[in-house]
């Protein structure tokens, strides 16, 4: 919180206003609890009629929230707490609700989504992956269906007709990538009837910091047309593999760039039998050489990408998940394929592109929730005009945070990590080890195998078993090694007798370059 906020208590004043509105919702609880199921369902038609007669969503808020709250209790047996009502109000106002892990962000979203869907113009609930899309549509969608709302799911494998039907629903669950690509495809159709999207109305983004900050400048690209360039990539790759580090090329690790030295330039001129590498006529060759250098010396296997079934699949750096069907642009993907000796896909040219930042600003109302947004508040305010409100926790936090342990060498660090796991595992306390890359998670798994400690690994390579691994991660004696996949939208529930042992022990193998991703582990 900055000094001005402290002086004027802006955040506190805002929370007090939200709290007042939440009390109006809470006061209606006994009245709505007395209604029958049919009376709750009939309220939806009543609200829609009142909106048609000119009543605003803001004046409907207390009643609509109370209705959805009671429906949640009856359908899934969960009743939104007072703080969740506060979070819902922040979301309805087009802002960001920062709610700590385990505070029930998914349930919080039900209230503003129901209210905004009453207009009949469509509400998109945007999450970071298809696992969460399908889980939430089934889980929270049941509440909306009970109240007479139509719920649609939009995933990559759907046909345009199925997508159109999904977007015509009152509420549509989708991933950020799929919504963005649908928008691009809609702008490329010849007939207006072939479009799948309606005008963009309301978007509620789960893990809003991941989508609107981490990935904000990520371009979504639709490409087409084919260029025959495979041979050039193979030649450039062979050449780069024979270069000598420090002598022929220099790496800037922080900037993730690699440059040929003078000696490397001479080697290239000799290898490709040319006089001047940087002559304008050799621009194409220079481009291929630099992509081959980047592929070989900057892009790391099992960190930035994995190789599966003779294919290069990108690993999302923020969620640790596989990005099926995505490719690096500018020929970098082909350079990596040459490096890994897998079939080289034909290069294509860009037909349409948009960044997440520009796409989400097209919505009439944008709101979001996450556990870690306050650190980026300035960016949210200046780019998206969204304020960040820290919603208090329902109960005081009892988690114990220990200071970082710093070691002189990588070997010493992993030995200490192993000893800590053994100590905790011996007394039966469940352990979650957070790592920042697939490679690290596999290394930790290897050293645990050597000590014959049973464990599960949750990373991009076995994401299909994610739900099963997460379900067991809080049980007595379990050891789970995870990349940052475990930090996004996945709940680890504690098994019997675990609370008495001290709960789930979370160990981080190293700090992530983003402070927010470290906070997710907590």
| Per-residue model confidence (pLDDT) at position 8 | 47
pTM above 0.85, yes or no: no
Nearest to 70 by CA among 123, 109, 113, 34: 34
Give the residue ranges of the chain where pLDDT is below 50. Answer: 1, 7-8
* Interval 383-433: pLDDT, tens: 999 999 999 888 887 778 888 889 999 999 999 999 999 999 998 899 989
| Per-residue model confidence (pLDDT) at position 7 | 41
For residue 355, the number of C-alpha atoms closer than 13 Å in the C-beta half-sphere is 9
Residue ranges and CATH numbers for the domains of the chain are 3-221+355-390 (3.40.50.300), 229-346 (3.90.1440.10), 410-521 (3.40.50.300)
Helix ranges (H only) for 222-326 are: 230-241, 262-271, 283-297
Kindly state the DSSP code that residue 418 receives in the 8-state scheme.
H
Number of C-beta neighbours around residue 365 at 10 A: 17
Q: Are 107 and 80 in contact (CB under 8 A)?
A: yes
DSSP H/E element including 251: strand 249-252
| Per-residue model confidence (pLDDT) at position 360 | 96
| Per-residue model confidence (pLDDT) at position 365 | 97
Alpha carbon 85 to chain centroid, angstroms: 24
Number of C-beta neighbours around residue 129 at 10 A: 22
Long-range (24+ apart) CB contacts under 8 A made by 5-13 are 11/389, 11/390
| Per-residue model confidence (pLDDT) at position 113 | 97
* Interval 326-335: pLDDT, tens: 888 888 999 9
Percent helix, strand, coil in the chain, to 5, is 50, 15, 35
| Per-residue model confidence (pLDDT) at position 483 | 79
Number of C-beta neighbours around residue 162 at 10 A: 15
DSSP H/E element including 151: strand 151-154
Nearest to 69 by CA among 84, 87, 50: 84
């Amino acid at each position: 919180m900055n000094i001005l906020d402290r002086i004027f208590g802006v955040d506190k004043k805002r929370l007090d206003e939200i709290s007042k509105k939440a009390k109006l919702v809470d006061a209606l609880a006994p009245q709505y609890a007395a209604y029958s199921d049919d009376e709750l369902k009939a309220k939806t038609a009543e609200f829609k009629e009142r909106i048609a007669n000119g009543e605003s969503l803001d004046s409907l808020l207390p009643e609509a929230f109370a209705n959805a709250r009671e429906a949640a209790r009856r359908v899934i047996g969960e009743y939104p707490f007072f703080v969740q009502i506060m979070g819902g109000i922040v979301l309805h106002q087009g802002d960001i609700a920062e709610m700590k892990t385990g505070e029930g962000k998914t349930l919080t979203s039900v209230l503003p989504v129901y209210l905004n869907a009453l207009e009949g113009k469509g509400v998109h609930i945007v999450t970071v992956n298809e696992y969460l899309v399908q889980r939430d549509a089934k889980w929270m969608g049941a509440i909306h269906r009970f109240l007479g709302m139509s719920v649609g799911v939009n995933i990559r494998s759907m046909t345009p007709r199925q997508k159109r039907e999904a977007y015509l629903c009152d509420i549509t669950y989708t991933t950020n990538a799929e919504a963005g690509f649908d928008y691009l495809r809609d702008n490329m159709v010849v007939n207006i009837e072939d479009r799948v999207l309606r005008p963009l109305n309301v978007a509620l983004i789960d893990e809003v910091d991941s989508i609107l900050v981490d990935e904000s400048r990520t371009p979504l690209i639709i490409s087409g047309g084919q260029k025959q360039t495979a041979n050039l990539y193979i030649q450039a790759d062979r050449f780069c593999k024979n270069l000598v580090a420090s002598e022929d090329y220099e790496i800037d690790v922080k900037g993730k760039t690699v440059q040929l030295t003078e000696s490397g330039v001479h080697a290239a001129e000799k290898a490709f039998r040319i006089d001047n590498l940087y002559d304008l006529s050799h621009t194409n060759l220079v481009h291929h050489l630099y992509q081959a250098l980047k592929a070989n010396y900057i892009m790391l296997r099992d960190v930035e990408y994995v190789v599966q079934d003779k294919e290069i699949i990108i690993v999302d750096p923020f969620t640790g998940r596989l990005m099926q069907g995505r490719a690096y642009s500018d020929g970098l993907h082909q350079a990596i394929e040459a490096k890994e000796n897998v079939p080289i896909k034909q290069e294509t040219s860009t037909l349409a592109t948009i960044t997440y930042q520009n796409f989400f600003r097209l919505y009439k109302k944008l709101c979001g929730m996450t556990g870690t947004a306050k650190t980026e508040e300035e960016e949210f305010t200046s780019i998206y005009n969204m304020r960040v409100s820290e919603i208090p926790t329902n109960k005081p936090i009892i988690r114990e945070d220990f200071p970082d342990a710093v070691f002189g060498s990588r070997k010493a660090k992993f030995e200490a990590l192993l000893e800590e796991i053994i100590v905790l595992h011996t007394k039966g306390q469940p352990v979650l080890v957070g790592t920042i890359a697939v490679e690290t998670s596999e290394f930790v798994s290897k050293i645990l195998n050597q000590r014959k400690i049973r464990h599960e690994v949750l990373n991009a390579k076995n994401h299909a078993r994610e739900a099963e691994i997460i379900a067991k991660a809080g049980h007595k004696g379990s050891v789970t090694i995870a990349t940052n996949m475990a930090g996004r939208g996945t709940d680890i529930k504690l098994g019997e007798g675990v609370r008495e042992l001290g709960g789930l022990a979370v160990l981080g193998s190293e700090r992530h370059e983003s402070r927010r991703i470290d906070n997710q582990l907590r």
